[in-house]
Structure formats: C-alpha cells, structure tokens
C-alpha cells in the first residue's frame, strides 16, 4: 500500500490554526497558563544540549557571513543566558494575570453597570532579527496574556529558533494547551515576513524588533496594526553639577555592560563648564574597556587620540564599543541635540541640580527618561515585567518596555436589567 504523504502546512494554514488556538487561550485559566510557563522554563534548561549546538551552528554561519560582533552577541546563547531565560519565564508565572482585570467602570443613572476589562489581542505577530531570546520572551508573555503568537525570527537564528519553538510547543501540549498557540513561519523566509505584514484578519497586532531598517519596513508596509519598537540612539548628558565618580560609573555601565543592545549608550553630551573636569576621567575609564571615542572638536581639544566625529555619528546606533561625544553649551543645547538625533528610546541626565533634573524629565520626549541612572535599566526584566515584548518608542497604546498589560486590549461589559434607550 503506498505511503500517504502529508503536505506541510501552508502559511495560511498556520495563521488559521493560530486564530483557533487564540480562542482556546483566551479562555484558559491562570493556573493552566502558569503551569505551561513552568513547563517552558523546565524544558529550556533540560534541553540545553539541543539548543546550544543549534545556536553554535547559527553563530558559525554568522561568522562566515561577516556578521558584526554586536549582532553576534545578540544571537549568542550560552548556559548562563538559558538560566536567565528560565528565570524570566518563571517570574512571568508569578505576575498577576491581566486578563479580566477591571480597568474602570460605573453604574449609570439608568441602572446599567458598565465595566472596561482587559482581553487578549488574539494573535500577535513578531518579526525580529538574530535574537533567539526574543522567541522565549515573546512566547511567554503572549501565553500569560492569553494570546497566540506567530514568530518570524529571521534566517540568522533559524536553527536555534526551530529547536526553541519545538520545545515551546511540546510544553504547551504537556499542559493540555494547543501547540499552535506558538508558531514559527521562518520556513517561508522573507516571503513569509511580507505575508505576515499583509495578514490583516488573521493577525491582530504586529511587533517588529531589530534594526531601524527592519522596523521602518514593517511600519511602512504592514496592513496589520503595528506597535513600533525603536532603534536606540541613547544619550547621557553630564550636567555641570554632575558628581565625577557617579558620572564615570554610569557612563561606563551604560556603554560597556552590554554594548550590542538597544538601551546601550551611543552619544555622551557634556556641559562645557564641566568638560575639562569630567571628560578625561570618564573617557579614561571607557578606554580601559576598549571603547573608541568619536568626538567633536572641543572633545578632541581636551582628550588625545579621539576619532573626529562626523554628522553621521550623532544618529548612529553603533551596537559596539564606539561612543560619540559632544561638548554642549548648556542643558538647552543638550536637549536640542537630543530632540534632533534621538530615536526617543532612553535618555539620562547626571546632575546634582534638582531643577535641571526636573526640566530634563519634563521636556525630553523619549519613552524613558532618567536622572542619575544607567540607561541599561530600560528593560522589561529590570522594570519587574519578567521579560519584554520590546521597547515601544511610539505614543499610542504602549510606550517604553512592554510587558503583560501592553499585550492586551479592552472591551466593555454592560450588565442590565431590561433597560431601553428613550
């Protein structure tokens, strides 16, 4: 008897299955979802011997294709990073379930009770590059918020993501939830990404994470509503009152702790009256960690062996141990520079002047603004969200690190006792 050949599911098949799975997840209890999250956390560490070799294959391909060190760092998984992912997933299980939460409500004079409650979006699409950790983060947050998720993780991490999605689907099945709630469309390549952007009616919201080019493409070409995440041209401004030791530590941490990520410092601005006091020790500490300084003329007058900055430096997200440095006249000049070049991600002021701190917080128009803190804290995990879907730089619905509430919409529930409108 001839063997039956089962055709691989088409992209539309997968999207339809996602919508069906979304209806199941929307009704899943918090206990069911938390059990599935614990199963996901356990399977990540239990299967490190499958995940890490797949990731090494992706890294070998990346090296062969000349991928930058910064992007390779984003792509890389090791056991320590798997442990961090497992901890994040388990933490998400401890967070309050947003589904069914009452946002506001009242009783109308006619006796109608109205309540606005949180509900899942339904199907969330994600397009991202060389970030296998995002596969886990988004899947876990989508699961807890009752959403199915369709992932396009890009060719650079295709081997890693294939293994991760298989493990995630297995964990869902263990807990009696549909495996189609987490799906990848990597096998469809760039055509799949384009189809996902056009999948209005199948996908309720699309979230891009990656380069400015990728995000711009998704925002401009998508027919599906998009929550825009942004590249990180991130600034720190050293005010004339800044404490030297504080400035040295915050600037170093903001740039060096992990330079390949979107909340890493890319441009340092320094008040002219404090530049001679602050810049030499700040730059000396950076150079100990291999940072290359791209400085304006006034910076080069204070510090030797600085690469002359060009206009392009002020708008560059290096994702490497490179830093643009500019001396500015005052706080207003610093904020003017930020207004012109920022991607509206994260900006921080180092100051001991309360009035200037409050002006900076009020007037700088970015998703996260800080006083006397490293920009590296702009992160869903650091903010207590367990993980993040991304960092939204838009102003609609969600802004800044996106956790569980940002993956929900609302609906109005009206309870009456026979009222009719006169």
pLDDT per residue of the chain (422 residues) written in tens, 0 to 9: 445 544 678 999 999 999 999 999 999 999 999 999 999 999 999 999 999 999 999 999 999 999 988 889 989 999 999 999 999 999 999 999 999 999 999 999 999 999 999 999 999 999 998 899 999 999 999 999 999 999 999 999 999 999 999 999 999 999 999 999 999 999 999 999 999 999 999 999 999 988 888 889 999 999 999 998 878 899 999 999 999 999 999 999 999 999 989 999 999 999 999 999 999 999 999 999 999 999 999 999 999 999 999 999 999 999 999 999 999 999 999 999 999 999 999 999 999 999 999 999 999 999 999 999 999 999 999 999 988 988 998 888 899 999 999 999 999 999 999 999 98
Return the CATH class of domain 11-229: alpha beta
Residue 42 and residue 86: Cα distance in Å, rounded? 7
8 A C-beta contact, residue 182 and residue 156: no
Q: Which tokens sit at 287?
A: 């150079």
pTM attached to this predicted model: 0.88
* Cα–Cα distance measured from residue 153 to residue 149, given in angstroms and rounded to the nearest whole number: 12
- Check for a shared fold between 11-229 and 234-377: no
* Annotated domain spans of the chain: 11-229, 234-377
Spatial contact of 150 and 185, defined as CB atoms under 8 Å apart: yes
CA 121/CA 224 separation, integer angstroms: 12
Q: DSSP labels for 352-365?
A: S-HHHHHHHHHH--
Q: 306 is written with which tokens? A: 């600085």
Where would I find the beta strands (DSSP E) of 263-321? 265-271, 292-295, 307-308
**CATH level 3 topology of 234-377:** Aldehyde Dehydrogenase; Chain A, domain 2 (3.40.309)
């Amino acid at each position: 008897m001839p063997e039956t050949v089962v055709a691989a599911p088409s992209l539309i098949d997968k999207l339809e299955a996602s919508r069906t799975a979304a209806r199941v997840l929307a009704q899943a209890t918090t206990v069911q979802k938390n059990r599935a999250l614990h199963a996901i956390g356990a399977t990540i560490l239990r299967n490190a011997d499958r995940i890490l070799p797949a990731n090494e294959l992706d890294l070998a391909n990346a090296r062969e294709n000349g991928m930058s060190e910064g992007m390779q760092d984003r792509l890389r998984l090791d056991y320590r990073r798997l442990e961090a992912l497992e901890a994040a997933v388990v933490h998400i299980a401890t967070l309050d379930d947003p589904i069914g939460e009452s946002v506001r409500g009242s009783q109308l004079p006619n006796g109608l009770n109205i309540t606005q409650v949180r509900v899942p979006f339904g199907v969330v699409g994600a397009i991202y590059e060389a970030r296998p950790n995002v596969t886990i983060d988004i899947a876990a947050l989508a699961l807890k918020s009752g959403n199915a998720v369709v992932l396009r993780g890009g060719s650079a991490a295709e081997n890693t993501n294939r293994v991760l999605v298989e493990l995630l689907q297995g964990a869902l099945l263990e807990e009696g939830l549909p495996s189609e709630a987490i799906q990848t469309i990597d096998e469809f390549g760039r055509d799949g990404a384009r189809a996902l952007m056009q999948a209005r009616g199948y996908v309720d919201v699309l979230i891009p994470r990656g380069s400015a080019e990728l995000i711009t493409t998704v925002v401009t070409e998508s027919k599906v509503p998009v929550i825009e995440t942004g590249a990180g041209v991130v600034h720190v401004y050293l005010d004339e009152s800044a404490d030297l030791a504080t400035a040295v530590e915050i600037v170093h941490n903001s740039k060096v702790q992990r330079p390949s990520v979107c909340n890493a410092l890319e441009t340092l601005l320094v008040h002219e009256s404090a530049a001679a006091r602050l810049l030499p020790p700040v730059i000396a500490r950076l150079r100990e960690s291999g940072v290359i300084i791209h400085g304006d003329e006034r910076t080069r007058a204070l510090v030797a062996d600085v690469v002359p900055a060009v206009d392009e430096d002020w708008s560059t997200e290096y994702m490497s141990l490179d830093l643009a440095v500019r001396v500015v006249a005052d706080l207003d000049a610093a904020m003017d520079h930020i207004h012109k070049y920022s991607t509206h991600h994260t900006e921080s002021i180092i100051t001991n002047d309360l009035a200037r701190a409050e002006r900076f917080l009020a007037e700088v128009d970015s998703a996260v603004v800080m006083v006397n803190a490293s920009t590296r804290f702009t992160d869903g995990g650091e903010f207590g969200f367990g993980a993040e879907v991304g960092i939204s730089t838009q102003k609609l619905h969600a802004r800044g690190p996106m956790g569980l509430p940002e993956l929900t919409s609302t609906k109005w529930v009206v309870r009456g006792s026979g009222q009719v409108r006169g």
